[in-house]
């Protein structure tokens, strides 16, 4: 019953938006599938930390979700900034059930409990967006993170997942970090960064919390096993 995480799959099996045009992404889908099947069993759980599909609406995710469904493990999907198909949890749950995607679940204002571990998270927001609307969105995301961690209860080890980085070299999204500290979170995984930006990712402990970048190209398309 192992735990894995990977973000930013950017699947486009049902749309004409291939990622293979970007350096390092050539032939990434077969590489991802091979690594996934080598590491992950049906008893394992995988968090997909945002930007899962390029689909513009929920119905157009079917080809991408069918690919994910075909892979072993239970998958919990977090919202990313490019998940335009994202809608209400009720609508997404209904769609997944009707489509037979029984290994796909939505991580949004809730928690996934696996053994003694609670998987919690939200999209997050860019810490440097200081406009009034940005402050409002950051506050909303901090509230959603708190709601997810509250759903975990008091008896579980809590691991947090975000799409946007909550920390940068010398800076942080203090609203999110304060919530992580409030609930005693010591592990946080995030995505969003690609290409040359990967070199600037904070990887390691900062003030008692260990951060790790898990964007697909940052992991060379190999799901990361959580210790």
Which CATH number does the domain housing residue 86 bear? 3.60.21.10
pLDDT at 130: 60
pLDDT at 131: 65
Tally of structural domains, the chain: 1
pLDDT at 34 over 70: yes
What DSSP state is assigned to residue 209? E
pLDDT at 17: 83
Token pair of 65, please? Answer: 């979700």
Domain that holds residue 122: 3-226
Task: Average the pLDDT over 115-141 and give the result.
Answer: 87
**Measuring CA to CA, which residue among 202, 219, 220 is closest to residue 211?**
202
Share of the chain above pLDDT 70, in %: 98
**Measuring CA to CA, which residue among 155, 157, 169, 158 is closest to residue 197?**
169
Going by pLDDT thresholds of 50, 70 and 90, the confidence category of residue 132 is low
Task: Average the pLDDT over 86-90 and give the result.
Answer: 97
- State the Cα angle at 107 between 31 and 209, rounded to 5°: 80
Please give the Cα distance from 210 to 39 (Å, whole number): 23
Q: Is the dihedral of CA 94, 83, 135, 143 positive or negative?
A: positive
pLDDT at 155 over 80: no
pLDDT at 117 over 70: yes
Global confidence as pTM:
0.95
pLDDT at 64 over 70: yes
- Cβ burial, residue 161 (10 Å; 0-12/13-18/19+): buried
């Amino acid at each position: 019953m192992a735990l894995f995480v990977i973000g930013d799959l950017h699947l486009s099996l049902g749309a004409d938006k291939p990622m293979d045009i970007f350096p390092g992404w050539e032939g990434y889908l077969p590489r991802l599938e091979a690594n996934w099947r080598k590491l992950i069993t049906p008893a394992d759980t995988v968090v997909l930390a945002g930007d899962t599909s390029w689909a513009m609406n929920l119905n157009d995710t079917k080809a991408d979700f069918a690919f994910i469904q075909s892979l072993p493990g239970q998958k919990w999907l977090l919202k990313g900034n490019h998940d335009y198909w994202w809608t209400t949890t009720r609508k997404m749950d209904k769609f997944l059930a009707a489509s037979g995607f029984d290994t796909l679940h939505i991580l949004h204002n809730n928690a996934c409990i696996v053994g003694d571990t609670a998987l919690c998270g939200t999209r997050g927001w860019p810490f440097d967006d200081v406009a009034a609307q940005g402050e409002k969105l950051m506050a909303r995301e901090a509230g959603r993170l708190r709601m997810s961690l509250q759903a975990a209860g008091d008896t579980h080890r809590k691991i947090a997942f975000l799409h946007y980085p909550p920390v940068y070299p010398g800076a942080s999204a203090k609203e999110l970090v304060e919530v992580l500290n409030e609930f005693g979170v010591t592990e946080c995984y995030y995505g969003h960064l690609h290409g040359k930006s990967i070199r600037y990712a904070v990887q390691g402990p900062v003030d008692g919390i260990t951060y790790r970048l898990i964007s697909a190209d940052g992991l060379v398309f190999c799901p990361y096993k959580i210790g």
